[in-house]
Amino acid sequence: MRWYWIDRFLEFESGRSAKAVKLISMAEDHMHDHFPGCPIMPNSLVVEGMAQTGGLLVCEHTGFQAKVVLAKIPKVQFHLNVSPGDTLTYSAEIDHIDDNGAMVTATSHHGDRLQAEIEFVFAHLNSGQRDRTLFEPETFLKMMRMLGAFEVGHAADGSPLVAPPLLTGKGS
């Protein structure tokens, strides 16, 4: 992943839900071009921020072992634009997860106002694709650490969220 469209996690509950925040700043290059004189955050990047929040939730649930890709966006609706100085809060919830993938719903709020709502379908790649190197799980682990997921997160049983032993070199 080259760009992070979330700044930090506020909450992270393994296999269930996550909440992250994105601070919109004029320091971001895209804000100067979209639109000159009246900058607004492109909706595609809001979608990406919600997808990263939900996608990391799905990846962590599998111990970063499944190759997870965004397969489909069945529904998306935007209610308002956001500009530099605004803060977005992304909330993602796993509706269903199994060996084939996951259904995730997410929202974006600006303060107490609903900014966007979306449904995602994430797919776990089939066995024919599992041997292809599309990304390294360690990249996602690094992102989770950098964004503070292990500081605020907890497992389904309420215990603190920890990195999978296989990725930290503490497993077999």
Nearest residue to 96 (alpha-carbon basis) of 106, 105, 109: 105
Question: What pLDDT does residue 165 have?
Answer: 78
In a domain, 74, yes or no: yes
> What is the model's pTM?
0.87
Q: Is the pLDDT of residue 107 over 90?
A: yes
CA distances from 94 to 56, 72, 79, 129, 168 (A): 11, 15, 22, 24, 25
Question: What pLDDT does residue 1 have?
Answer: 46
In a domain, 111, yes or no: yes
In a domain, 60, yes or no: yes
Could you read off the pLDDT of 57-68 as tens digits, one per residue?
999 998 888 889
Q: Is the pLDDT of residue 171 over 70?
A: no
Range of the domain at 12: 8-168
Catalytic residues: 34
Phi/psi of residue 168, nearest 5 degrees: -100, 0
Q: Is the pLDDT of residue 15 over 90?
A: yes
**Count of structural domains, the chain:** 1
